[in-house]
A and B are shown apart, each in its own frame.
Chain A
Amino acid sequence: MPEGILCNKTPIKTDEQLKLTLSDSRGTKYYAEMLELEVDSDALWALVQKTLKSRTKTWLEICAHCGLCAESCFLYQVNGRTPKQVPSYKIQSTLGQIVKKKGKVTNEFMRHCMDVAWSQCTCCNRCGMYCPHGIDMGVMFSYLRGLLYSQGFVPWELKIGSGMHRVYRAQMDVTTEDWVETCEWMAEETEEEWPGLEIPVDKQDADIMYTCNAREPKHYPEDVAEAAILFHVAGENWTVPSEGWEQTSLSMFAGDWECCKDNVQNVYDAIERLNPKRAIGTECGHAHRATVIEGPYWTGRPDGLPPRPYIHYVEWLAEALRTGKLKIDPAKRIKEPVTLQDSCNYVRNQGLKDITREIISYIVEPGFFVEMSPNKEHNYCCGGGGGFNGIGMYREQRNVALRKKMDQILDTGCKLVIAPCHNCWDAIRDLEEEYEIGIRWSFLKPLVIGMLDVPEHMLPKDEE
């Protein structure tokens, strides 16, 4: 079985292999090796037999090729409505073929599958809502990605991303020490303006255990500080775990099932260890999907639920505003046209559509909120979901994909977009960079902090 040094069927499990793969600029050598990568048909077919369950089988069988899913797909819409972008065609011509040919497919075909799975589908699951049979191509593409990953046909950045999760249990090289140090640092930096603020690490039996996205400690620790400020002002009894703090899952984007399970288990172990009343994740969509929606199944939890109630940041924020734990100064509410990006991963996937509007009702002056069209569970993907944002090889396709969101935003006439999801936030940032439509974008945390009506005793003592 000829396999490459970088491009092979073995996941990245060591720091050495990780650095070696990273040093291959833009994956040049990696993709060159992929051209020679042999498909192990027996292993592929064995894996299909073991993992292709009745639902997916049925879906592949009963698709009537009616084409009703076509218009539901934003990639179909922005790519000149070519039949090649119809969801049912995309999945039938890739996964369908692998099943039909019992895994006897060529290297070239596998590379084609990789292109389709990672650059023609963001697993946004919108098609599933429009299929008369309820066939969800997004779910099937996630499955196909797993098959491709097992054979080593995965974009370079995602091989690395998944390797990061395996080596560091985080999507970026942030160690436990780095993380704890960052929490201390942020507490130190923030407590001057917020006397009494703490970022408690590994506190037992707190009301809340908070988890986040490794990019926050790595590049934007302000986000961790902002979360701390809001918990502090709300008077929450909260903590972060020293281990199991990273909620994201590039392994889910990569199709590295084993790693998905390991990472979620790591978060669940932290919950069991610290015994909080509930867990709350940061403003991230796929991290929520991985740990809250898919995670219980990956880890084989019989009740299909995480070990404790695990909610998305927007759920906590809405609750804090509703119950008055956080008070908004009406004078500081947003008084300009503002729109909201519904993240597929917790809006379409979990139905958290009204809760974000509730937040809007507290922080936006009535009359200034403009809905995108379509919205809520019918909203389109930002254009960068499912790992699309980070893959250099598919940059051009991704930039085309951003056009749908751009048009939606332009139609609202708003210059401010609230995007409570890392991937959406990134995509909208890139959209502005690429198309320069003159918009600003923000997570909820900094917006809310800017509007708080803070109780007198929480403010620093007056200085002259």
Chain B
Amino acid sequence: MFKKILLATTGSPASFGAARVAFDMAKRYGSEVTIFHVLGVPTKAFSQVVNDVRTGEEVEVDAEYISWVEEELKTTYAKQFAGAENAKIVITTGAPHREILREARNQDSDLIVMGASSGDNVKYHRGYPGSTLQKVAKAARCPVLTVHRESASYWGGFSSILFGTDFSKQAASAFKFALNTARELDCVLTIFHALDISGKVLDQTQIEENLIVARKRIRETYVPLMGDFKNFDIEVWEGAPYVEIVKLAREKQVDLIVMAHHTRELDAEKAKIGSTVEQVIVRANCPVVSVSKPDKV
């Protein structure tokens, strides 16, 4: 399930939560972790100069510089490295989202772990719309686990999983991942659908009818797929989906949220508000896994 974890990191404090979760999983589940860092974005045509992603300075990438960055990362994660059997560092240059996807493909990673935001580092964008996370989540073949808030990384291991569904094709893959994880790690699984009534004034009878329909749909869609797995419950209620998911996760002390990711919109301006899953990522108190492909679930 989590044999190969790719931890994509800027090495900045914003990514510490993601690192903590990745290393915790490695120790708990015996995964290999690759700490993957894109140290600079190519610049100036065919020159050997890159913009260092942390300082924004132009640097000439040579063996010496790379080993210096590697030392930095080792120092940063010294504590984590101490107990991790299977950790290595890979450093490269390029457009971050592209290199993360390339490495995940090369290694056939089972899970990409990353922070949700490196802040407004313009060097990461350079004329290409969309955030690194959006672009990785859209194209990755494997699930992408994000940890946005520090508080989201204080759990140890996974025992309660919340799967939020919108009944899309991608949600079917997300469900498989949630179910397999729940089986493998012996977790309780909550299957949840939020009836989106944000910005609408609906008749209460209609709302309640829709809730019944959705509950029935969850039973028909997901229960037959669970075989002998009985450790689940179903919740359906109305609201703004991202708010309801975050609330339910808090209430149930969920330590992993699993959702489908199928935003096609990468235009930074249009995608600013983000999809439900992006909203959940920035608000949740636990790691969030977004799944968009059926390959690695």
Contacts and interface: CB of A to CB of B under 8 A. Distances in A.
A189 B140 CA distance: 8
Contacts of B48: 22, 26, 157, 160, 392
Given A389-B44, A392-B49, A430-B44, A220 B168 contact: no
Given A389-B45, A390-B44, A219 B264 contact: no
Contacts of A157: 46-48
Contact of B105 (A185, A222, A250): A185
> Chain A: interface residue count, which band?
35 or more
A338 interface: no
A135 B170 CA distance: 63
B46 A161 contact: yes
B49 A426 contact: no
A171 interface: yes
B62 A426 contact: no
Nearest to A462: B169
B126 A171 contact: no
B84 interface: no
> Chain B: interface residue count, which band?
20 to 34
Interface in A153-184: 157, 160-161, 171-172
A390 B168 contact: no
Contacts of A426: 44-45
Nearest to B123: A433
A384 B95 CA distance: 22
A463 interface: yes
B202 interface: no
A61 interface: no
B98 A172 contact: no
B199 interface: no
A357 interface: no
B63 interface: yes
B119 interface: no
Contacts of A464: 166-168
Contact of A26 (B60, B94, B102): B60
Given A464-B166, A464-B167, A220 B98 contact: yes
A463 B169 contact: yes
Interface in A217-233: 218-222
Contacts of A389: 44-47
A391 interface: yes
Contacts of B126: 429
Interface string A234-269: 000000000000000010000000000000000000
The A contact surface, by secondary structure, is: helix
A410 to B, nearest CB: 19
B224 interface: no
Interface in B226-282: 262, 264
A76 interface: no
A138 to B, nearest CB: 19
Contacts of B43: 430
Contact of B47 (A25, A218, A219, A390): A390
Nearest to B63: A23
A447 to B, nearest CB: 12
Nearest to B47: A390
Given A392-B49, A441-B127, A463-B169, A25 B44 contact: no
Contact of B139 (A161, A189, A391, A423): A189
A215 interface: yes
Nearest to A464: B167
B42 A219 contact: yes
A185 B63 CA distance: 29
A193 interface: yes
Contacts of B139: 189
A422 B44 CA distance: 11
B98 A221 contact: yes
Given A25-B62, A441-B127, A250 B98 contact: no
B264 A193 contact: yes
A429 B127 contact: yes
Nearest to A440: B127
Interface in A193-227: 193, 215, 218-222
Contacts of A392: 44, 47-49, 60
Contacts of B62: 22-23, 25
Contacts of B128: 220, 222
Contacts of A171: 46
Contacts of A442: 127
Contacts of B63: 23
B180 to A, nearest CB: 22
Most chain-A CB neighbours within 10 Å: which of B43, B46, B127, B169?
B46
B201 to A, nearest CB: 23
Nearest to A160: B48
A215 B93 CA distance: 13
Nearest to A215: B46
Interface of B: 42-49, 60, 62-64, 94-95, 98, 101-102, 105, 126-128, 139, 166-170, 262, 264
10 contacts: A22-B62, A157-B47, A220-B95, A220-B128, A392-B47, A395-B44, A429-B126, A463-B168, A463-B169, A464-B166
Q: Which 9 A-B pairs have the closest CB atoms?
A: A389-B45, A390-B45, A390-B47, A390-B46, A463-B169, A25-B60, A426-B45, A25-B62, A189-B139
